[in-house]
Amino acid sequence: MLVNLLDGQNGFLTTALLVLGLRTRRRPALAGLCFGALTLKPQLGLLLPLVLALTRQWRTILWAAATALLLAALSVACFGLEPWRVFLTANASQLRVLLERGILPWPMMTSLFAAASMLGAPPAAAWALHAAWAAFVAGATAWLWWRQAPFPIAASALMLGALAVTPHGFYYDMALTLPPVWLLARRARRTGWLPLEREALLAGYLAPAFLGLAEALGVVPIMPAALGLLFVTVLRRYVVEEAGAGRIAPVGPDPPPDLAVAGPRP
């Protein structure tokens, strides 16, 4: 949070849009407006079309598309087509060069591509590793929503996955990890903590505080490691709960009906 305030970054806004869109998922117009506005940072919305299609949220998709098109039209009206031409042509190739050469500082990034590059992997290998990890994260997230996992688990996977699949995530985007940490801790207090789950959530929560150490050492991929640890923690909780092992009796009331499952049942 402090980094976002000091750097004037938009981690608050993008996190709020994704959280509000998920929380109001049964209100297609409001959810679609939030998801459409998230196109201000399109790399964080890569998993949304997949999840919305799996849960058959067609009205939300239409509202999101309409919002995105309206914002694009407003930008053209205000600034013309030149920014779009640069974004769609020169920007993509320039961004790849900046990533591969470390001009965009790897220690400040959250992707597996950055982690592999920091550890000395050549660009081709780093891209391959990132692509494999992104495919796993996307598949696991889709699986949770398709299985209608409890909403705190499915939503946490989507928020963490949104940051994991993009090669261009930065330390200020780690604000997106706070809602999953809170959701998982809240659920664990109700259903029982798994071994080492507290430690995993604490490590993920504290990781951004060690950004200076990552920059100083230059070879410690703190952000990608924390993000991966949190995502695996989400998957582990779902698998253990489904298997009925490692749980204690609930100590609180059941969640409200709208928090019970990720998507509407057929």
Mean pLDDT of 126-148: 94
Percent of the chain clearing pLDDT 90 (strictly above): 54
- Structural domain containing residue 19: 2-259
- What is the predicted pLDDT for the residue at 214? 65
Mean pLDDT of 258-264: 46
Let me know if residue 107 belongs to a domain: yes
End-to-end CA distance of the chain: 40
Let me know if residue 165 belongs to a domain: yes
Percent of the chain clearing pLDDT 70 (strictly above): 87
> Which pLDDT tens digit goes with each residue over 167-203?
888 888 989 999 999 999 999 998 889 999 999 999 8
Let me know if residue 265 belongs to a domain: no
**Does the pTM of the predicted model rise above 0.75?**
yes
Let me know if residue 266 belongs to a domain: no
Give CA angle at 169 (217, 68), nearest 5°. 165
At residue 266, does pLDDT exceed 70?
no
Q: How confident is the model at residue 127 (pLDDT cuts 50, 70, 90)?
A: very high
Residue predicted with more confidence, 216 or 227 = 227
At residue 154, does pLDDT exceed 50?
yes
Let me know if residue 264 belongs to a domain: no
At residue 248, does pLDDT exceed 70?
no
Mean pLDDT of 221-249: 82
Lowest mean pLDDT among 57-61, 125-129, 212-216: 212-216
- What is the predicted pLDDT for the residue at 253? 43
- What is the predicted pLDDT for the residue at 218? 63
- What is the predicted pLDDT for the residue at 171? 85
Mean pLDDT of 140-154: 93
> Which pLDDT tens digit goes with each residue over 87-96?
887 666 788 8
Let me know if residue 206 belongs to a domain: yes
- What is the predicted pLDDT for the residue at 255? 47
Total structural domains within the chain: 1
- What is the predicted pLDDT for the residue at 146? 93
Let me know if residue 254 belongs to a domain: yes
Mean pLDDT of 33-39: 94
